[in-house]
Amino acid sequence: MKEKTAITKTQMPAAIKAVNNVSFGSKLRSYMKNPGSFIIMILVMAAALITFAALLFIICYVLIKGVPNLSPSLFAWEYNTENVSMLPSIINTLIMTVVSLVIAIPLGLFTAIYLVEYSGKNNSRIVQIIRLTTETLSGIPSIVYGLFGMLFFVTALQWGYSILAGAFTMSIMILPLIMRTAEEALLAVSDSYREASYGLGAGKLRTIFKIVLPSAMPGVAAGIILAIGRIVGETAALMYTSGTVAEIPSNLMSSGRTLALHMYALSSEGLYENQAYATAVVLLVFVLLINTLSSFIARRLTKS
Amino acid sequence: MHAVFFIAAIASIVAVFLICLFLFVNGIPAIGKIGIFDFLLGTKWAPSNNPPSFGIFPMILGSIYVTAGAIVIGVPIGILTSVFMAKYCPRRIYKVLKPATELLAGIPSVVYGFFGLVVIVPVIRSLAGGTGSSILAASILLGIMILPTIIGVSESAIRSVPESYYEGSLALGATHERTIFRVMLPAARSGIMAGIVLGIGRAIGETMAVIMVAGNQARMPAGLLKGIRTLTANIVIEMGYAADLHREALIATGVVLFIFILIINVTFSLLKRKEKN
């Protein structure tokens, strides 16, 4: 069913274009007759121009100002106040990302599996509550997550400022994102796959893990990559959970700042503007890579 | 295995429950001690005075002003851009622009904040005088930051209007623009409103970018070009050294913010439900 509507939707614009072929000249005449429409068209174009000019300006400005400031000493193994190396923060970011994903992926994926494969089409009370809470979670601003992480993981569980506390906070934050994308990906798997698998004698679990999940994998992966982007860029939720020590932590219970926090520290101290530019470049490059990867995977998904 | 999946599904419920529990348990007592009216409507925030005063009204106003500014700047541009994306953009350009809006959403808020600090603030300083860190700077920056949210939601709302509406209006002799603004946008109204509400939520909750450009003076708003402190900024700036009642008052600030967000979320899901019907 779902696939059928998707096909007709993509075919529709082509069919309409053939009917509504307007030449440039007649468009011009129409605008001459309706100056109001012309003004609105200009406004729409201008708004789009502003949006994309702003994006381009931000990226180019940061790159142009930042790239010349990238120096080898910024990637020194040890951080000190002279080189303000960002390498420890990069490593912290990697650790933070991995730990958060290890917690959030199983939870998010299993929730999605429960919602799609087990709860059935009927909207029971519990499914409604799960949807409501994930919607709530996705709307909570990161500073509230930070406060909660500080009160719960850092203080109540007595973990102190630690990578682990930060990672748990982040995993709650990215949970709705992973869950929603995984759910959409699972829903998009055609029911005929499941029926064929059952028909061949496979059980429910086997069908889910061998048939449904592999075909939903690109969608799930795109969601995970978006989640990585959020972890890399997060500051407010980590400030009072993972702390701001600029060193590579000896274990998960010690504090460590991620790259985004490192950049905030640099720019708020006011002494290291050039280094802040360079850090911004590295952050931006990460985000660009993550976004490209995610849309690449999503495109492969729509092609197949 | 059914049980395992079910337990995972419960996790989000547990998370929301714990967040509410810990915020309210740690924050509500402080509101009680300070007095709810003194806390919410007090115009003076001076935690180190003797006796200290904990009025967060300046910060509430700060958040509202900055958000309103972001709406004034972001909503018209956002909606018009979404119209462009849905109804003007040739397929080939769309393939470039759609990932671009996603990138706009993906840029970390520190990078936005830094950009505001080194570009927007100095420009305002040289054009209008003062320090440059102001409501205006924060509004412009937040206006840019909420664009991808508004564009994304309202574009899909416009696209979900049946194509027959568009064709019908054209067949009656209306121009492309008249059709879009008189037929398509009214039909997509609740979806677009949902996008705006979501944008409001983003703007109120934004922390780091605002801290870096808003000046953060804890006083009543004094004008567009004067500095201001938002609820979110108040928490981040002072949490590092706060103790006792001061710390609790900051958590209570978080509770107020949380309640704002909950109201916005409920509005959003109501609007979305209305769109579906």
Tell me how close the Cα of A192 comes to any Cα of chain B, in angstroms. Answer: 22
Query: Is residue A4 scored above 70 in pLDDT?
Result: no
Name the band, by pLDDT with cuts 50, 70 and 90, for residue A302: low
pLDDT in tens, chain B (277 residues): 788 888 888 888 999 999 999 999 998 998 888 888 888 888 888 888 878 888 899 999 999 999 999 999 999 999 999 999 998 888 888 888 888 898 898 899 999 999 999 999 999 999 887 788 889 999 999 999 999 999 999 999 999 999 899 989 988 988 888 899 999 999 998 889 989 999 999 999 999 999 999 888 888 888 888 889 999 999 998 888 888 888 999 999 999 999 999 999 888 888 888 777 6
Name the band, by pLDDT with cuts 50, 70 and 90, for residue A275: confident
Query: Is residue A9 scored above 90 in pLDDT?
Result: no
Is residue A193 domain-shared with residue A87, that is, in the same domain? yes
Is residue A58 domain-shared with residue A138, that is, in the same domain? no
Q: Is residue A4 in some structural domain?
A: no
**Residue range of the domain that includes A56:** 19-68
At which of A43, A68, A93 does a domain end? A68
Q: Which of A5-9, A72-76, A125-129, B20-24 has maximum average pLDDT?
A: B20-24
- Beta-carbon count within 10 A of B87 CB: 18
Q: Mean pLDDT over residues A7-17, rounded? A: 50
Query: Is residue A295 scored above 90 in pLDDT?
Result: no
User: Three-state SS across chain A?
Assistant: CHHHHHHHHHHHHHHHHHHCCCCHHHHHHHHHHCHHHHHHHHHHHHHHHHHHHHHHHHHHHHHHHHHHHCCHHHHCCCCCCCCCCCHHHHHHHHHHHHHHHHHHHHHHHHHHHHHHHHCCCCCCHHHHHHHHHHHHHHHCCHHHHHHHHHHHHHHHCCCCCCHHHHHHHHHHHHHHHHHHHHHHHHHHCCHHHHHHHHHCCCCHHHHHHHHHHHHHHHHHHHHHHHHHHHHHHCCHHHHCCCCCCCCCCCCCCCCCCCHHHHHHHHHHHCCCHHHHHHHHHHHHHHHHHHHHHHHHHHHHHHHC
CA dist B208 and B221 (Å) reads: 20
Is residue A156 domain-shared with residue A200, that is, in the same domain? yes
Maximum Cα–Cα distance for chain B, whole Å? 74
Cβ of residue A128 closer than 8 Å to a chain B Cβ: no
Considering only CB atoms, A284 lies closest to which of B11, B18, B111, namely: B111
Name the band, by pLDDT with cuts 50, 70 and 90, for residue A256: confident
ipTM: 0.90
Q: Which of B111, B141, B235 to mutate to test the interface with A (most CBs of A within 10 A)?
A: B111
Is residue A91 domain-shared with residue A36, that is, in the same domain? no
Query: Is B104 in Cβ contact with A55 (below 8 Å)?
Result: yes
Considering only CB atoms, B23 lies closest to which of A45, A147, A264, namely: A147
Query: Is B167 in Cβ contact with A130 (below 8 Å)?
Result: no
How confident is the prediction for chain A on average, in pLDDT? 84
Q: Is residue A56 in some structural domain?
A: yes
| Domains of chain B and any CATH numbers | 56-276 (1.10.3720.10)
Query: Is residue A173 scored above 90 in pLDDT?
Result: yes
Q: What is the pLDDT of residues A49-87, one digit of tens each?
A: 999 999 999 999 999 988 888 888 777 777 777 777 888
Q: Is residue A3 in some structural domain?
A: no
Cβ of residue A264 closer than 8 Å to a chain B Cβ: yes
Considering only CB atoms, B212 lies closest to which of A110, A141, A267, namely: A267
User: How many domains are contained in chain A?
Assistant: 2
Instruction: Give the pLDDT confidence score for residue A73 in this predicted structure.
Output: 77
Q: Which two tokens stand for residue B221?
A: 């708003």
Q: Is residue A127 in some structural domain?
A: yes
Instruction: Give the pLDDT confidence score for residue A20 in this predicted structure.
Output: 57
Q: Mean pLDDT over residues A277-288, rounded? A: 90
* CATH number for the domain harbouring residue A216: 1.10.3720.10
Query: Is A264 in Cβ contact with B22 (below 8 Å)?
Result: no
Q: Is residue A12 in some structural domain?
A: no
Is residue A48 domain-shared with residue A81, that is, in the same domain? no
At which of A68, A89, A107 does a domain end? A68
Is residue A62 domain-shared with residue A156, that is, in the same domain? no
Is residue A93 domain-shared with residue A23, that is, in the same domain? no
Is residue A166 domain-shared with residue A264, that is, in the same domain? yes
Query: Is B102 in Cβ contact with A291 (below 8 Å)?
Result: yes
Instruction: Give the pLDDT confidence score for residue B252 in this predicted structure.
Output: 92
